[in-house]
Structure 1
Amino acid sequence: MDNVALLQQVVDETTKVVDNVTPDQLGNATPCTDWTVRDILNHITGGATMFAISAEQGAVPDDVLATLIGGDNIGADPQGAWAVAAARAMAAFEAPGVLDKIVKLPFGEMPAGVALNIAVFDVLTHAADIARATGQTLDETDLVETALTMGRQMIGPELRQPGIFDDEQPAGADAAPVDRLLAFAGRRV
């Protein structure tokens, strides 16, 4: 499977989780300890828009980036906002030749294909955060395993810093794939 198709699977799985979040769950704590469910929804929606703009234009203008990082990306309709942002990101990554472009993200310049791989890991990890915080599960074990493998290949010490990825946490040898994914992303499981 190509990585654009993989991202579509991640978007589909994340959408299932997002669509089942109720308004009273937006304030729930998540395994990503600094963020509530609403904060994560805001982050993945802003992130999807950021990835889309970087794939479309090569970089996100600083003023737009500041709004995506610090602004309200979901308003009163988290599900609708996520759907629009995710669709834009998918369309951007599906454009011919885009994966070979160099894009600039807040954490560096890279081929758009690498940015797509980061999106796969980040979005699915946050889908797991939301699922855990709202009593849902991620049932796509193979997808979780693939995202974890990609994360292990991409996330080095330079990305292990506050605000990006915390240090990997222990997970038992018999831990479920989603627990290993969360632990790798710095969550205590």
Structure 2
Amino acid sequence: MTISDEQRWQFCQGFGSHVFGLAMRDAALRERLHRRYQDWETNAEAIDPKAQALVCLALHSISFDRPVSAASDLRRISAAAVAEAVHTRPHHELFASLPELTADGMAHVQALRLMSYQFGAHVGVSPVAKPWTWITTSALTWIRHASTTASVSGQATCGEIMDLGL
């Protein structure tokens, strides 16, 4: 059975939510993130939803780089590949091939898209460089935490992470 674009997106959204949930379940990590947000003079409400969307977009984007015909193919993608996409994938590639999204699902994706447009619109340092870095750092922290929680080697797949209960 072939996976639909909507099912692919739903899996990716679920993964973004799951790595966030795993991070929030860890009291020490949650406190470390809270202190980090204070140092950055921001808050979880400004960062966390966008970071979840970024994880989702990264997984969704790389899922088109390989043959994916079922959810099991998505489950085999390594968390390290998702982290690499969060960190290095060109912004325009993150937004390619998106299915039609609901208003709720679109809000944070649209916020990230608008931020990405601002990178090329300014001479010098973009005003969104810091917030984008904060969002990326949070997303990478969550993925790293989930990967080391799911696998002793720290090389977990998306499926191994999704199998961890919340």
TM-score normalised by L of structure 1:
0.26
- The structure whose RCO (Cα within 8 Å, separation 6+) is larger is 2
TM-score normalised by L of structure 2:
0.29
